[in-house]
Amino acid sequence: MKRNSLSILLIEDNLALAKQICQLLESKGWLVDYAETGEQGLLLALSHRFDVIILDLNLPDIDGLEVCERIKQQQTRITPILMLTARDAFNDKAKGFMCGTDDYLTKPCDLRELAMRCEALGRRHQLHTETTITKGLLTLDTRAFTVTWANTPLHITKTGFKILQQLAKAYPYPVARSDLINEVWGNDPPETNSLKAHLYNLRKALEQGDKPPELQTISNIGYRIVGLDEKN
């Protein structure tokens, strides 16, 4: 995915409005996933990675405020949420921000403004993304593509680094195979056995360190990294 591209989740039960929003955002080259209900939105938000979530409040099954709270509480990766709703009273806006929303836009609105707000939230989020990831004794520098385990440099390929980066971000939880492929290769997925080969090489690279972490395959789910020392 290009650096200036955004991945957006739209949770909106008004199909006509949702279609307009999707068309506008996709015309910018952004990737848009769509959910018509709160339950669908939660499933997507908690199982995939997005740069911005656009959330309606008047959903047919779960109130959008509850959806916002549950996303913020359960996500392992913080994602900005923009509430798009007809509720325009001050108290409604206050409740939205108390539930964790990052921006609030009332309907009807100029969809060009919605797009600008999404871009601002996504850009701000990308700027605040840590360039160094530290999980126990494991440290990754996302700019230099270097890895150390217990202060010992490890020799890892660039693709192996990207895989390890996603596993470290999700630690201690697993990453779905489809999500891992999407994060590492984007819209150009590898050949069938390529991921397995890269994981094998990554395991060998991690063995350079003393008492290294372990890469586990979780049947029917994906992969996770275990054995990171959390005391640091």
Q: What is the pLDDT of residues 8-65, one digit of tens each?
A: 999 999 999 999 999 999 999 999 999 999 999 999 998 887 889 999 998 999 999 9
| All CATH 1.10.10.10 domain ranges in the chain, comma separated | 132-226
Cα 99 from Cα 71, distance rounded (Å): 10
What is the gyration radius of the CA atoms in the chain, in angstroms? 19
Rounded to whole angstroms, the Cα distance separating 10 from 8 reads 6
CB 212 within 8 A of CB 206: yes
CATH of domain 132-226: 1.10.10.10
Superfamily of domain 7-128: Response regulator (3.40.50.2300)
User: Using one digit for the tens of pLDDT, what is the confidence trace for 129-175?
Assistant: 557 788 888 888 887 888 998 888 999 999 999 999 999 988 888 99
What are the residue ranges of CATH 3.40.50.2300 in the chain?
7-128
pTM above 0.85, yes or no: no
Angle between helices 90-98 and 64-74 (to 10 degrees): 20
